[in-house]
Amino acid sequence: MIPFDFEYYKPSSVHMAVELFQLLQNQGKKPVYYAGGTEIITWARTNSIQPGAVINLNSIPECSVMGIQKDKLVIGACVTLSALSEANPFPLLSQTAQGVADQTARNKITLGGNICGKIYYREAVLPLLLANSRMIIAGIHGIREVSIHQVFLQQLRLENGEFLVQTFTDQYYLSLPFVHYKKRQIGNVGYPLVTVAALKQDNQIHTAYSGVCSFPFRSIEIDQVLNSSSIPLAARIEQAISKLPGSIIHNTEGSAPYRKFVLKQTMADTIHILERR
């Protein structure tokens, strides 16, 4: 149960949602956008956030679309991870989505909600980083299309009042060879020690990571080292780890040294599999 009152709105268009946000913000109601709502509910229950208004995006058609349009896979921000996995339009993304939380939670968690979340992991962004996807973002100044690499820098950098509408991914990336690993300490449900997603493109392996640092990331420097086939694999992996963009997480799921060990093994498995494809 959420221990405070708030106003609830369900606009039917992008324009209405943006206008509502601006109006409610001007009234001092600290509005938030809502897609699946799992994080909003969690933070609200602990009084970590206290929005005076919630704007549900699920009735906006553009936010619920999923399919191929002009050689691009378009996925609305309100598409749930369960729906994404079932439709399987992008196998690497579908497999990554299947590893998030449990089935009940995935029925609520949306692609946009996962990408825009505040928790460390946000694994659904990894395939989009690898596929150089583009983001459709709406705000008071209109709708803009930008590369994911311009707006996802440790987290999705949205301006005040903006929200993610859709992602666009070139159809070319959907059938590339890939691997996905999610390593947990125990069982098949829970936060990861390490998640690695990888694609092979033009004989080059591209990798992205979650659970290693306090944010998901793709690193060109790491990929350059891992693809240096003239260097022994163990040495490549050591060099790659030295280029991590942040400190390795140390928490109840696993210590930093243990995470580093798991990361090394997962990198090695990734390279072994994709070098043969």
Domain positions in the chain are 7-56, 61-173, 177-275
CATH topology of domain 61-173: 3.30.465
Give the lowest-confidence range in 11-25, 33-47, 90-104, 121-135. 33-47
User: What residue type is 197 in one-letter code?
Assistant: A
Higher pLDDT, 103 or 207: 207
DSSP 110: B
| Largest Cα span, the chain | 62
Query: Rounded to whole angstroms, what are the CA distances from 183 to 101, 250, 265?
Result: 13, 15, 10
Q: CATH topology of 7-56 equal to that of 177-275?
A: no
The predicted structure's pLDDT at residue 35:
83
Residues 213-267 have pLDDT tens digits of 999 999 999 999 999 999 999 999 999 999 999 999 999 889 999 999 999 999 9
Q: Which helix (H) or strand (E) holds 43?
A: helix 38-45
The predicted structure's pLDDT at residue 187:
65
Higher pLDDT, 270 or 187: 270
7-56 is a CATH 3.30.43 domain: yes
User: What residue type is 77 in one-letter code?
Assistant: A
Assess contact for 100 and 75: CB atoms under 8 A. no
Q: Which helix (H) or strand (E) holds 66?
A: strand 66-69
DSSP 266: H
The predicted structure's pLDDT at residue 186:
74
Phi-psi region of 38 (alpha: psi -120 to 50; beta: other; left: phi over 0): alpha
Residues 152-192 have pLDDT tens digits of 999 999 999 999 999 999 999 999 999 999 998 876 666 78
Q: What is the DSSP code string of 239-254? A: HHHTT-SSPPP-BTTB
The band of 87, judged by pLDDT with boundaries at 50, 70 and 90, is very high
- Looking at the chain, the whole-number percentage of residues with pLDDT higher than 70 is 92
pTM to 2 decimals? 0.93
CATH topology of domain 177-275: Enolase-like; domain 1 (3.30.390)
Q: Which of 195, 263, 274 is nearest to 227 (CA)?
A: 274
